[in-house]
Amino acid sequence: MKLGILGKGKIVSDFMQTVHELSIEQLSLLGRERSRPQALEFGRRHGMKEVYFDYEDLLKSGIDTVYVALPNHLHFLYGKRALAAGKNVILEKPATSNARELRELIRIARERGCFLFEAVSVYHLPAFAALKQDIEKIGRLRIAVVQYSQRSSRYDAFRCGEIHPVFDCHKSGGALMDINFYPVSALVGLFGRPEQIGYQANLERGIDTSGILTMEYPDFKAAAIGAKDCGPMSYASFLGEEGRIQVDEPVSRFAEYTVFTGEGGREQYTAHERRHRMYYEFVEFERIMRENDGRRHEELLQLSLCVAEVMEEARKAAGVVFDADRSFGEKEGGE
């Protein structure tokens, strides 16, 4: 993989912790002209082949894959341009501002014969694959709750009127699109599309700072809880008629859980290795592209689309509307 990275924010710095373990032949960076010195220093520190300040120059270089790690509202526009240029695209979660944008990117990717991925760590964790198998050990499921809450370092600024992208309704922010994305994705990845959806959100300045997304399935109820205005509190509980499963870590990076069954029955699952959470997803993306695994690629696209549809329905029901919901947008900005 010859990877071009858009942006140098927190998620990219996080990715740099594991990039040396991945099969990436070269790295390039797209930065902003107004922060040129910082971008050049970031590239030098992480061994980037080139640092670009014009997107077209990056797309014309020798990269084959673009990793869009920009604010949410920019994913669609930058992803679309990369696909049009014949590049594979990895979109940081959430893939796009709404399902309509994601459907359009999927259409273009298919037309151009490109791969399109959403960077969702939970689906690729060894513990998640094991959990999907172990759910049956607790009998008929009745209740599932996944919570990921962490008070944001930008929340105090938001309360004082300084709006960062993560709390900006004009930039597709909010707790659901950010931290609650993981609980929603975990539940959809385990159980598929719910029959009914509800979202009870705490709203300030038109954006959700925390909330509970409820899901109704034929035989059980589920809740995805996410908060950026309180916490920390992260766990997952699956309650069945014959037992329960407890996860005491954020689902975005969990490596172990406990299965409680019968009269005192207890089984502990622990992954045989514990790597950086982003390692597993990028290993899988590289494998899919190398092996041209169209079946797995399509499975992941459909999962991403289902999550996008669930989240869009939920936030609109709560009264959270993005600029991107009104149009695809015609202007670009940011890094």
The secondary element (H helix, E strand) that includes residue 304 is helix 294-317
Residue 71 within any structural domain of the chain:
no
**Total structural domains within the chain:** 1
Q: Looking at the domain assignment, is residue 305 inside a domain?
A: no
- Residue 309 CA to residue 123 CA, distance in Å, equals 18
Contacts with 241 (C-beta within 8 Å, 6 or more apart), sequence order: 138, 139, 140, 142
Asked if residue 225 belongs to a domain, the reply is yes
Decide if 25 is inside a domain: no
**Contact present, 234 and 254 (Cβ < 8 Å):** no
Q: Euclidean distance between the first and final Cα of the chain, in Å?
A: 22
Q: Would you tell me the crossing angle of helices 294-317 and 181-191 to the nearest 10 degrees?
A: 120
CATH code of the domain in which 212 resides: 3.30.360.10
CA–CA gap between residue 215 and residue 221 (Å, rounded)? 6
| 195 falls within a domain | yes
Strands 256-261, 243-247: parallel, antiparallel or unpaired by DSSP? antiparallel
AA letter at 252: S
- 185: amino acid identity, one letter: S
Q: What angle do CA 261, 262, 267 make, to 5 degrees?
A: 30
pLDDT in tens, the chain (335 residues): 999 999 989 999 999 999 999 999 999 999 999 999 999 999 999 989 899 999 999 999 999 999 999 999 999 999 999 999 999 999 999 999 999 999 999 999 999 999 999 999 999 999 999 999 999 999 999 999 999 999 999 999 999 999 999 999 999 999 999 999 999 999 999 999 999 999 999 999 999 999 999 999 999 999 999 999 999 999 999 999 999 999 999 999 999 999 999 888 999 999 999 999 999 999 999 999 999 999 999 999 999 999 999 999 999 999 999 999 986 544 444 44
- Alpha-carbon separation of residue 310 from 71, 105, 154, 195, 197 (angstroms): 20, 18, 26, 10, 7
- How far is the C-alpha of 98 from the C-alpha of 287, rounded, in Å? 28
Give this prediction's pTM: 0.94
Question: Structure tokens of 207?
Answer: 């954006």
Provide the domain limits for residue 226.
Answer: 123-277
Residue 89 lies in a domain: no
Tokens 């944008």 appear where?
Answer: 101
Helix axes 181-191, 126-134, angle to 10 degrees: 50
The answer to whether residue 12 is domain-embedded is no
